[in-house]
Amino acid sequence: MLLFSCPNCGPRNETEFHYGGQAHVAYPEHPEELSDREWAEYLFYRENPKGLFAERWVHSAGCRKWFNMVRDTVSYDIKAVYRMGEAPPVELAAAAATQAATNHNAPEGAKP
Amino acid sequence: MVNTAENTQVRALRRSPAAHLWEDFTRGSVEGSHGVALHEVPFQTMVGIRVDPLSEAGVRIAAVTGGLPVRCGEVAAGPDGVSVLWLSPDEFLAVAPDDGGRADLVEALTAALGADAGQVVDLSSNRTTLELSGPSAREVLEKSCAADLHPRAFAAGTAITTEVGKIPVLLWKSGPDTFRLFPRASFADYLGRWLLDGMREFAAAGNPAWH
């Protein structure tokens, strides 16, 4: 059983939390200017890294607030917990970016 | 709410969510050095408060309740038996006993909030209160609650939102050996029976015929 450190409530059982997917997916500045392909990638395409991953979680059985967490998807090691609106710790963000460079979105020939 | 004659009659007709288990609670309670007792504290006044505690409205509400808790686990004790439990940075639950508590608590809090951002909602019938007490109370809870209930982490006078037997509850340690659980009304039957089941071993251990 994993213990998550909620920024408000401290360490709690994993079962009190719910997952919210990839963190830091910003809403497009001008959504009306996006092509169908770009819009679909914003809506549906998410990273699926092997390694560090910044994700959103909600403490649904506790304070019911959302927060961000950097988790290693291989070892389940929790590297950092930080509040909504905050940036991930610099060294972790750099490591995640290196990983992301090796990941790809939709292949070029994919139909929109 | 104005206390009209109709309201007074309604008070006499109230039935608490675990009233049908009261006899079982009495039968299942165990005396002695490993004892544990369970009973329901019905009809407590509960008021849900959502307000930024640092705002002006938050300060006015704190003046009514005798302070707002600042961090997770804290319980602010105010006058007239009113206690305020911390639910989240901007959400609190004011609890007062049915009798002897402050009768105009909801009205006073609503007036204190005024037209500012926030909410004050009477949640008295949303949850009921089960009180588990005795030397073995912590052991009974630890069977089905993953939170750390050891006194070094969970001292008397703290309250947290957690799960007991997969039921979301507010868990308030109101005394050294006394826990108050606030399940939603519809979970009162399940949680009452669940705790009774957890208490059975202590009845058996105290029984001379057991060995």
Residue identified by tokens 């039968």 is: B27
- What is the average pLDDT value for chain B, to the nearest integer? 90
ipTM of the complex: 0.81
For the cut 50, the answer to whether the pLDDT of residue B210 exceeds it is: no
Tell me B184's DSSP state.
Answer: B
Q: What residues 28-87 of chain B have any CB closer than 8 A to a CB of chain A?
A: 72, 87
Distance in angstroms (rounded) separating the CA atoms of residues B9 and B37: 32
Distance in angstroms (rounded) separating the CA atoms of residues A69 and B166: 24
Q: Average the pLDDT over each of B31-35, B63-67, B115-119 and give the range with the smallest value.
A: B31-35
Across the range A13-38, mean pLDDT stands at: 93
Predicted TM-score (pTM) of this structure: 0.85
**Which tens digits make up the pLDDT trace of B175-185?**
999 999 999 99
Q: Do B163 and A63 touch (CB under 8 A)?
A: no
DSSP notation for B87-129: EETTEEEEEE-SSSS-TTHHHHHHHHHTTSSSEEEE-TTTB-E
**Residue A39 half-sphere exposure toward CB, CA atoms < 13 A:** 8
Which residues from A are below 8 Å from B160, CB to CB? Answer: 9, 62
For the cut 80, the answer to whether the pLDDT of residue B10 exceeds it is: no
Query: What percent of chain B has pLDDT above 90?
Result: 76
pLDDT of B143 reads 93
For the cut 80, the answer to whether the pLDDT of residue A112 exceeds it is: no
- What is the average pLDDT value for chain A, to the nearest integer? 88
Distance in angstroms (rounded) separating the CA atoms of residues B101 and B95: 9
For the cut 70, the answer to whether the pLDDT of residue A102 exceeds it is: no
Which residues from A are below 8 Å from B161, CB to CB? Answer: 9, 61-63
Neighbours of B93 (CB within 10 A): 23
